[in-house]
Every structure is written in C-alpha cells, then in structure tokens.
C-alpha cells in the first residue's frame, strides 16, 4: 500500500477578523503584540500577513524569526537571540518591525523584547504555550503588551476558504463536517479523513513534546496522554478533579489529586483546551475553583477521545459557540444563579449578554428548561438561545438564533 498522502495546495485565507482587530497596533512601538493559541491554528500565517502589511506601508526594516526552525536551534539564551536580531537589522535607521515566532523557546526572552519595545520597535511575538504570558512576563511588561487569542478557522472562515479555493459549498454538510473534523487550517489540504486524523495526531505529538514535556513538569507521559484523551472526550463539561482522579486511578495505579491537577494545568497551558470559569451572577464574582473545559478544535474530540462513532452533538455545538465568542474577542464565563446555570455570560467590558445553547428544542418542556435561567435575569441585558432549530422567534424577551445562519454566518448576535 502506498504511504503517500494526497495533499492539495490551497490559496491561503486572509484572516481578516483578526487582522482588523490587530491593525490599529501594527505600527505602535510602545505595545508588544502577543499572538497566542494552540499549535498550527494559524498564528504564524497571521503574523506573516501582518509583516506583509507593514512591508507595504513604506520604507521599513523587518526582521522575522521562526524559532522553531532548525537554523535557530541553538538560539536558546537572551544574548544569542539579541545577537541574531541585531545582525538581522544590521544598523538600519528605518522604522523597525520585529516578528518572533514561538518566542518561548528562549528562556528569558522577555528582557529582549522589552528592550526593543523601549527603542520604539514594533514587536510581535507568538507562542503556543500560555506560559508565554507567565506571571514573570506580565509583571515585567504590565500595561505594555496586548494579547490576541488565535483559534483555528471559525465556520465562516471555513466557508470563505472554500469560496476562495473553488470548493463546492453546501452549508449544512459543511457544518456537519466542521462539527466533526474541526477547523485546523492545514487539515483542508488533505481530502482523506485518514490523512486528517494522522495530521491531528502529529499536531498533538508536537504539543506534547514541545509545549508540555519540554518544560519538565510532567514525567508520566502515559498518564498525560490518558488525561488528554479524557479532556477530549468531555467538551463543554464541568471539570471535577475528584472524579477525574477516580477515573485515572481505576484505569491505572492510584494517582494523587495534586498530580492530576498539575497535569491538567499543563494541558490547559498548551491551549489544547480552555478553562471557562464559573461566575456567580448574584454575587458578581468568579468562582475560582469551578470551571468548564472547551476544546480548541473539535477534531481532538473526534480522533483523540476514541468517540468518533458516538458524538454528542449538544456538547459539540456548545463548544462551537464558545470558540466563536472567544474568536470575536468577547470575555466568556459560565453563569451560576443558585442551582440554575446560564451557559455563557458574554461581555465586551462595557456591555454583556446571557446565552443558552441547545441542540434542538422539540417541545415546550425543553423550551421552558432553557428559558428559565434567562428569565431569572432581570438586569435588562440581552438574552439569547442559540440552537439548530430553523425557526427563530423572540419569546419573553429572549431572542432565539439559528446556530449556523444567524450566529455563525449572520449578525444576529449583538450585545
């Protein structure tokens, strides 16, 4: 059997949603721009598109370093990094732009990027591990950096990608495909599902080696992989350290809760999944030990969890809504009011909205169950129910949106 994998060469998608948000900061040397997100989600592509825009803006000097490339394998200290940058700029007096991909490969990089910020160099950095924004970095750069959280393709980006590459569009089947196989940009180059699966596992292997094991806080790779599979199997679910510890202890030898907690923190720090903290809407405070988990890309659920023949569409749809809200730049929390739960409390810093997510609402009992937590909120902010139902009618001050047409592809959601 041939080992070759059929791969198409596609036209690169301009990530206009992110570029529009980043654009006001491109020429600002006073702010370090941080692009964070899971490996292979498109951070490097976006940064290269920004570099192209800067290059087209006039007579400028641009240095672009990808520290994952073999040529920079020995660039492991701030001194070596600074030397490479200085040699690349080579005394230019033009407006300078510095782009560093996977900057966390150099321990102590923050002193270097801060020194160039002080020289009014417009600095962009990317990283696949949230330790990029560790307490040390945030302490040193407080008020002098801005983070842009990058995710794989949203569904609207998938459809735009198809249009640009002359791929036939069928919104219904395209969304089903997206729900199952996710939006990692490169996966669309591989038409065969088996090739996409191999690609996802290759990304996961890279994450495990470079973003988790390399840090030295994880010694038991087998336990790590079991926890990744477990997290991948329960998107949109509340995380209980006790129940997960019981689960892995039954599967393997007894495991301490502190070990499980530490390994989970490494998984979340690698951006495989995100924590969505719970928020007491009456006390107006974040419940620091309670959170739900949402995957960066649903291909992880399909391929890594081992449940690709037993997909829970309710969980997947909620995960899609969460990622879409994050990609639009909103702050998202899970709402709690007594025993009632509101799927998402969404805010832009000034305004907010309450959101319930349901797969389908076939009868009045389901409608009542979804509406009750929203009706309990009487502060005047918008309330939404997002589902796959085709009919979208407002009821009791609650606006119902079709997930695909009104929310993902339309403009029905506003704060």
111-159 pLDDT per residue, tens: 999 999 999 999 999 989 887 776 566 777 777 999 999 999 999 999 9
Residues 139 and 166 in one domain: no
- Choosing from 107, 123, 149, the residue where a domain stops is 149
Residues 218 and 236 in one domain: yes
Burial 390-405 (b: 16+ CB within 10 A, else e): eebeeeeebbbbbbbe
In a domain, 387, yes or no: no
| Residue that wins the pLDDT comparison between 319 and 310 | 319
Residues 144 and 212 in one domain: no
- Choosing from 307, 332, 359, the residue where a domain stops is 307
- Choosing from 149, 178, 199, the residue where a domain stops is 149
pLDDT digit string, tens, across residues 247-285: 899 887 899 999 999 999 999 999 999 999 999 998 999
- Which of 76-85, 88-97, 145-154, 295-304 comes out lowest in average pLDDT? 88-97
DSSP state of 405: I
Number of domains in the chain: 2
Residues 51 and 184 in one domain: no
Q: Name the token pair of 147.
A: 């983070």
In a domain, 391, yes or no: no
372, 315 contact by CB (below 8 A): no
Residues 178 and 237 in one domain: yes
Residues 303 and 159 in one domain: yes
| Per-residue pLDDT, 349 | 93
In a domain, 414, yes or no: no
pLDDT for residue 2 is more than 50: no
Q: Which domain holds residue 194?
A: 155-272+298-307
Q: Please report how the helices 109-118 and 78-89 are oriented relative to each other, as an axis angle in degrees rounded to 10.
A: 40
Residues 31 and 116 in one domain: yes
Q: What's the CATH code of the domain at 118?
A: 3.40.50.300
In a domain, 340, yes or no: no
Residues 101 and 183 in one domain: no
CB within 8 A of 16, min separation 6: which ones? none
Contacts 24+ apart (CB under 8 A), 193-201: 195/5, 195/6, 195/7, 196/299, 197/303, 198/5, 200/297, 200/299, 200/300, 200/303, 200/304, 201/303, 201/304
Residues 51 and 188 in one domain: no
Of all residues in the chain, the percent with pLDDT exceeding 70 is 97
| Per-residue pLDDT, 393 | 80
pLDDT for residue 300 is more than 90: yes
């Amino acid at each position: 059997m041939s080992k070759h994998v059929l791969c198409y060469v596609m036209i690169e998608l301009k990530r206009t949603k992110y570029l529009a948000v980043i654009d006001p900061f491109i020429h600002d040397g006073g702010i370090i721009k941080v692009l964070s997100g899971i490996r292979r989600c498109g951070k490097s592509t976006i940064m290269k598109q920004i570099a192209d825009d800067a290059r087209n803006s006039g007579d400028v000097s641009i240095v672009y370093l990808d520290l994952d490339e073999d040529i920079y394998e020995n660039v492991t200290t701030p001194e070596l990094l600074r030397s490479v940058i200085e040699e690349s700029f080579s005394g230019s007096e033009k407006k300078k732009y510095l782009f560093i991909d996977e900057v966390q490969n150099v321990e102590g990089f923050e002193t270097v990027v801060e020194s160039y910020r002080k020289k009014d160099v417009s600095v962009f950095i990317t990283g696949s591990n949230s330790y990029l924004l560790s307490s040390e970095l945030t302490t040193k750069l407080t008020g002098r950096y801005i983070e842009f959280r990058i995710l794989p393709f949203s569904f609207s980006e998938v459809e735009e990608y198809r249009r640009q590459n002359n791929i036939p569009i069928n919104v219904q089947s395209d969304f089903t495909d997206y729900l199952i196989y996710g939006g990692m940009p490169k996966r669309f180059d591989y038409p065969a599902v088996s090739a996409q699966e191999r690609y996802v596992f290759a990304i996961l292997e890279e994450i495990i080696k470079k973003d988790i094991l390399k840090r030295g806080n994880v010694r038991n790779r087998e336990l790590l992989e079991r926890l990744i599979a477990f997290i991948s199997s329960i998107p949109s679910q509340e995380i209980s350290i006790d129940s997960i510890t019981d689960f892995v202890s039954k599967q393997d030898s007894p495991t301490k809760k502190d070990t499980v907690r530490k390994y989970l923190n490494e998984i979340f720090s690698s951006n495989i999944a995100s924590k969505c903290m719970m928020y007491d809407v009456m006390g107006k405070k974040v419940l620091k030990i309670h959170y739900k988990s949402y995957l960066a890309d649903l291909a992880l659920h399909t391929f890594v969890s081992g449940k690709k023949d037993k997909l829970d569409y309710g969980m997947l749809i909620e995960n899609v809504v969460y990622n879409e809200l994050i990609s639009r730049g909103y702050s998202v929390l899970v709402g709690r009011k007594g025993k009632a739960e509101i799927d998402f409390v969404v805010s832009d810093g000034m305004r907010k909205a309450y959101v319930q997510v349901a797969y389908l609402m076939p009868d009045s009992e389901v409608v009542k169950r979804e509406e009750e937590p929203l009706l309990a909120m009487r502060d005047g902010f918008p309330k939404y129910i997002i589902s796959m139902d085709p009919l979208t009618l407002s009821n009791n001050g609650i606006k119902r949106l079709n997930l695909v047409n009104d929310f993902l592809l339309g403009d029905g959601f506003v704060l």
